[in-house]
């Protein structure tokens, strides 16, 4: 049975304390199989290369001969050069959402993750600049409170990302319908059989299919 060292990453202290995002990663690792010898949790942005806990995880892999296991590629990094460097190192790694991916696909997925992060950052900055132009005071009680305009800007960014994802997966849903899937559960099963990734990794559910379809209405 293969052995792994799990590496889990969340972007903020708040996510780390609340388990937001961490629970899903832990569940993905648990479903993957094999023996997890140790787990390391990092609280850091995916754009930063200074990762003390990742360094610890890599060292543990070298000591045990285990493979580094991550829930999703973007949990490792949203930086092509960072991932390419790790691919050339002496430690093997595998992502739960794409366990058979070859180096070419990993490079492509890393590039997509990096570009997505760049676009989200641009849209968020633009939305906050627009809010500031309206006279909204930003930065007060940093880390505790945000304005209504900031919340609205963040919500719009998330909605845009959901619609973008829905548009990308809709052809696979339509194909499943053509092949005879009529219920949300049947469509979810068809997507899982085809290896189509759900938005946050893991398996598709009827609820996730419903949310995608809701995003495409109108």
Mean pLDDT value across residues 185-199: 85
Q: Which of 113, 108, 37 minimizes the C-alpha distance to 75?
A: 113
Strand partners, 41: 8
pLDDT at 47: 65
Task: Please state, rounded to an integer, the average pLDDT across all residues of the chain.
Answer: 78
Q: What is the pLDDT of residues 24-71, one digit of tens each?
A: 888 889 889 889 999 999 887 766 677 889 899 999 999 999 999 998
DSSP letters, 108-150, are HHHHHHHHHHHHHHHHHHHHHHHHHHTT---STTTTT---HHH
Backbone φ, ψ for residue 39 (5° rounding):
-130, 145
Q: Which of 119, 200, 216 minimizes the C-alpha distance to 166?
A: 216
Q: Which two tokens stand for residue 16?
A: 């780390």
Sign of CA dihedral 169, 173, 176, 181: positive
pTM for the predicted model, two decimal places: 0.51
Q: What is the pLDDT of residues 96-124, one digit of tens each?
A: 988 887 777 776 776 776 677 667 767 77
Mean pLDDT value across residues 149-175: 77
Eight-state DSSP code of residue 90? S
Element (H, E) at 153: helix 148-178
Which position has the token pair 């627009």? Answer: 130
CATH fold of 3-104 reads: Rossmann fold (3.40.50)
Where along the chain do its domains lie? 3-104, 137-216
Confidence at 18, pLDDT banded by 50, 70, 90: very low
Eight-state DSSP code of residue 3? E
What's the rounded Cα separation, in Å, for the pair 178 and 180? 5
């Amino acid at each position: 049975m293969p052995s792994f060292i799990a590496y889990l990453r969340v972007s903020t202290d708040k996510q780390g304390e609340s388990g937001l995002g961490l629970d899903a990663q832990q569940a993905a690792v648990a479903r993957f199989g094999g023996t997890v010898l140790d787990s390391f949790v990092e609280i850091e942005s995916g754009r930063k290369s200074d990762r003390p806990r990742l360094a610890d995880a890599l060292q543990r892999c070298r000591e045990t001969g285990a493979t580094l296991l991550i829930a999703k590629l973007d949990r490792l990094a949203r930086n092509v050069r960072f991932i390419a460097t790790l691919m050339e190192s002496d430690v093997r790694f595998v992502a739960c959402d794409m366990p058979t991916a070859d180096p070419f696909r990993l490079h492509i997925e890393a590039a997509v993750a990096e570009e997505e992060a760049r676009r989200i950052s641009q849209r968020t900055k633009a939305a906050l600049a627009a809010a500031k132009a309206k006279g909204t005071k930003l930065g007060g009680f940093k880390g505790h409170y945000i304005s209504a305009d900031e919340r609205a800007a963040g919500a719009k960014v998330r909605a845009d990302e959901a619609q973008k994802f829905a548009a990308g997966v809709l052809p696979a849903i339509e194909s499943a319908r053509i092949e005879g899937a009529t219920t949300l559960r049947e469509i979810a099963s068809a997507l899982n059989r085809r290896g189509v990734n759900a938005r946050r990794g893991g398996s598709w559910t009827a609820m996730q299919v419903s949310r995608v379809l809701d995003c495409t209405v109108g």
